[in-house]
Amino acid sequence: MNVLRALLSSFTALLVILTTPAIAQDGDALLLKDVQILHLEGERARLVPRMSILIKDGKIDRILPAEETKTDVLAMIVEGNGRIVMPGLVDMHVHVWDRQSLGAYLAAGVTTIRNASGMPFHLRLIQEIERGNVIGPRLITTGPILNSPGPNEQINHQIVSTAVEARDAVKQQHEAGYRRLKVYSNLTREAYEAVLSEADRLGMTVMGHTPEGVRKPGMPYQTPFDIAFGEVLDDGFVTIEHVESIVWHGLRDRHDQAAGRALARQIAAAKVPVDPTLLAFYNLLRVAETKGAYLQRPGTELLNPLLVAQSQAEYERWAREDVERNRAAFEFYKVMVRHLAEEGVLLVAGSDAGIFTNVPGISLIEELELLEEAGLETTSVLRAATINAAIALGQQNVVGLVAEGYRADLLLLDSDPTENLSALRSISGVVAGGRWFDRTSLDEHLAEAVMHDVERTQRNLVEALIAQGVDPASLGL
């Protein structure tokens, strides 16, 4: 017995001093030893030093003082050396065209993404990530975007105009396996109301742009929208997307601070979360300011080549856009975000990564920096990408906190992000669903994210179009 005890002691001591492997596989226990835990819940953020976190089966099993951590824990041990652990980041608005981009999100500390334009491959990808066959952040997806013909109609939208078409589309999405719907701005009143009715019947949630109805001449400046913004506020949106869309629809594009404050108060009273995606418009502005040079900045190699090829007309248009007018608009959008925050609207963080020139992964950090620039306190900014996102998704008892029983989605940082958001640009490691990725591993996945598979991306899009009853050949695919 003494010999056996001695062997076990030697074995566990060896576990402590071994170099930490790059990845802890699913089912393995993981110990983050001697870390500071950043708690973002409560009135103020607080750091708790000298703690250890034991992770089992993808969840936080125990949190205990570092000095009480037993050296005979049979787990892979990551020596924290006083570094900071905080919840993983949630990007509430992305567009994933192919699995190749997933590593870019993890490398930036994004452990959950909500894809806002579903295709059949996303449903399979969710399962592959959960089984550990594909490395990436937890993936949530809506179905294909529901829209009606109009100026915002796009190739990947599922187009419906009548109540019958809308109900059929929602039923089709439900049968395919989607449980979240995304609606868009051109939806007719008839189609939109049918979407809401069918979604309620099937237990599906709704997010997206606020539908405006048929766009008629003179809208919005001389003629009001068919569907008033206020009508949508009690329709149960999980989130309303894009602050510029709120200004366009809710203020009829007036940059009026008093009216903006009143609208923010109305949204807060309705308890509807908002995903501002400031970066989406900021990147449009930067393209205009640089006459297109911004499109070639470092990092854009992570954008899917098929997306880039399809965006050329939009790139050219924005390279010629009126800089001063759009700069003024962006300044008002920041003011509007500040109004929303001050009036108590639950803000979440989304980057719109994967379209235009919004780079997967790092775009969320850029969005957080813009939220701070808009006037939000740093802790509030961090909550937008953690706790607030969990609340909006109805998962506040599952993710978003460093707490026992919660999903083990964690970041290991060298410095305190509540003091300076730049700490998020130098992540030491990531735990995603209980799997440990050190910096070397994260960099490897980031490098792999530029190795695009254009043919697979095209197959993803063709499959999606066929599922919607569209002939890809008619679109040149």
Q: Tell me how far apart the alpha carbons of residues 241 and 272 are, in angstroms, rounded to a whole number.
A: 11
Sequence-distant (≥ 6) Cβ neighbours of residue 64 within 8 angstroms:
51, 52, 54
* Residues 472 and 458 sit within 8 Å (Cβ to Cβ): no
Residue 196: per-residue pLDDT: 98
Residue 475: per-residue pLDDT: 66
Return the bridge partners of 208, or none. 183, 240
Q: Tell me how far apart the alpha carbons of residues 381 and 433 are, in angstroms, rounded to a whole number.
A: 23
Q: How many CA atoms lie within 13 Å of 4's alpha carbon, on the beta-carbon side?
A: 1
* Residues 388 and 395 sit within 8 Å (Cβ to Cβ): no
Strands 46-56 and 158-159: unpaired
Residue 477: per-residue pLDDT: 63
Q: How many CA atoms lie within 13 Å of 156's alpha carbon, on the beta-carbon side?
A: 22
Q: pTM for the whole thing?
A: 0.93
Per-residue pLDDT of the chain (477 residues; tens, 9 = 90+): 343 343 333 333 333 333 333 444 444 799 999 999 999 998 899 999 999 999 999 999 999 999 987 756 678 999 999 999 999 999 999 999 999 999 999 999 999 999 999 999 999 999 999 999 999 999 999 999 999 999 999 988 999 999 999 999 999 999 999 999 999 999 999 999 999 999 999 999 999 999 999 999 999 999 999 999 999 999 999 999 999 999 999 999 999 999 999 999 999 999 999 999 999 999 999 999 999 999 999 999 999 999 999 999 999 999 999 999 999 999 999 999 999 999 999 999 999 999 999 999 999 999 999 999 999 999 999 999 999 999 999 999 999 999 999 999 999 999 999 999 999 999 999 999 999 999 999 999 999 999 999 999 999 999 999 998 887 776 666
Residue 69: per-residue pLDDT: 79
Residue 42: per-residue pLDDT: 86
Q: Tell me how far apart the alpha carbons of residues 288 and 327 are, in angstroms, rounded to a whole number.
A: 9
Tokens of 316: 């050219």
Q: Tell me how far apart the alpha carbons of residues 169 and 204 are, in angstroms, rounded to a whole number.
A: 13
Q: Which domains does the chain have, with CATH numbers?
A: 88-409 (3.20.20.140)
